[in-house]
Amino acid sequence: MPEKTIDTTKCTKCGRCIEICPIEIWETDDTTGFPLVSRPKDKRCTACGHCEAICPENAIAVLGENLAGPAEPWDGPMPTPEQVAGYFTSRRSVRRFVPEAVDRKTLERLLDIARYAPSGINRQPVAWNVLNSPAAVKKLATLTAEWMRGQLRAKTPVSLSLRFDILIEAWDKGKDPLCRNAPACLFACAPREDRMAGMDGTIAIAHVELAAPAFGLGACWAGYLSIAANMHAPIRAAAGIPEEFACIGSLMIGRPKFAFVRTPRRNAARVKWIAG
C-alpha cells in the first residue's frame, strides 16, 4: 500500500484531490478542512497518482518501494489535432531495418515511456524481455522456423490456418519472414493467471510502437514469435520468458532502412451512432 503525504503548508484546500480520486479514498478533515486519506479505504489505493498529478501546489506525494522517479511537473504545449492526426496516420509497420544494433539507452527510454501506459486498476503487470543483438534475434528466428517445420510435418491446426508452409518456403530461400532481420526484439510478458494482462500488455506494446519514430526507430508486431513463444519451451527459453508468464506480444525493432513519404489509403471508418 503506497504512502500518501500532504504538505499542509502548501495545500490550499481546493479539494481537487478528493474529487479526482477514482477510488474515493480522500475526504475532508472535519476539524482542519485539509484533505486526508480515509483509513478504511486506504488499502484500496492503486497508486494511480491522480491526486499527486492534479495538485497545483505540489502538496501531495504518493510514495512506495516500487514507485520509481519523481513526480515532475509538465506544462508543455499539447500537440494540435492536425499534428496528432498526421503523426498517427503516418505510422508505418517497419520490416526493413538498417543492420546496426539499437542503442540500449534508447530502448530504455522507450520502455520507460511504456510504463505510463494505462492498465486495469493500475496494476502494471507487464514485464519486458529485450533481445538486443542481431545474433540473439537470428537464433530466435531459427528456433521458430524449426518449430514451424515440425508443426507442418504434424499437420497441426495452427500450421495450416496460419500457412506456415509459405513462411518456411521463404525461410529456405534465405529470407527471414519471422523477425525480418531486425537487430532487436521486445517481448511483453505478464503472469498467466492475470486475466486482464492481455489487454494491458497490448496497450503497452502499442505505446512503444507509437513512440519509436520519435527516437528514430521503427517497429513491427512479431505475431508469429508471440505464438511460438507460448507454444514451444525452447523458444520461451531463448526469449527468457519464465514458465509462469505468458507472452502478450512482441515487437521487432530497429532503425528503418527506408523513409515513408506519404500516408496510404485506408478503408473508411465503420461507425454506428447510437441515439441516447
The predicted model gives 162-189 an average pLDDT of 97
- CA 195-200-204 angle, 5° bins: 155
pLDDT tens digits, 223-247: 999 999 999 999 999 999 999 999 9
pTM reported for the whole predicted model: 0.89
Burial of 157 per CB tally in 10 Å (0-12, 13-18, 19+):
exposed
Please tell me the predicted confidence (pLDDT) of residue 74.
79
**Residue whose cell numbers read 495545500:** 11
Name the packing angle between helices 134-154 and 164-172 (round to 10°). Answer: 130
User: Quick one: CA torsion of 14, 17, 23, 28, rounded to 10 degrees?
Assistant: -40
Give the span between the Cα atoms of 33 and 29, in whole angstroms.
Answer: 5
- For residue 21, the Cα-to-chain-centroid distance in whole angstroms is 24
User: In the chain, what are the domains?
Assistant: 3-63 (3.30.70.20), 85-254 (3.40.109.10)
- The answer, yes or no, to whether residue 65 has pLDDT greater than 80, is no
Query: Is the pLDDT at 9 greater than 80, yes or no?
Result: yes
